[in-house]
Amino acid sequence: MQRTHKTQTLKNLIAASAVFLAAGAAMAQTSPAPAAPPAPQAAPQGGPGHHHMGGRGDHHGGMMMKSIDTDGDGTISKAEADALFNKIDTNHDGKLDKSEMAAYRKSAWEQRRAEMKAEFESKFKAADKNNDGALTRDEFKAAFPRMADRFDKLDANHDGKVTMAEIQTDMQKMHKDRMDRMQRRGPGGASAPAAPSSSGN
pLDDT 10s digits, 2-34? 555 555 555 555 555 544 444 343 333 444 443
- In 3D, which of 81, 99, 82 has the Cα closest to residue 90? 99
The answer to whether 194 and 56 are in contact (CB under 8 A) is: yes
Predicted confidence (pLDDT) at residue 124 exceeds the cutoff of 60: yes
pLDDT recorded at residue 98: 94
- For residue 145, give the DSSP letter: G
Q: For residues 165-176, give the mean pLDDT.
A: 89
- Which of these, 48, 77, 63, 56, lies nearest to 17 by C-alpha position? 63
CB 86 within 8 A of CB 47: no
- In degrees, to the nearest 5, what angle opens at C-alpha 68 toward C-alphas 24 and 56? 35
Collapsing DSSP states into helix, strand and coil, what is residue 96?
Answer: coil
Tallying the residues shown for the chain, one arrives at: 201
- Please give the DSSP secondary-structure letter assigned to residue 55: B
Whole-angstrom Cα distance, residue 46 to residue 196?
Answer: 5
What is the per-residue pLDDT for 68?
A: 85
Contacts of residue 3, defined as CB under 8 A and 6 or more positions apart, other chains included, come to none
> What is the per-residue pLDDT across 141-165, written as a single tens digit (0 to 9) for each?
999 999 899 999 999 999 999 999 9
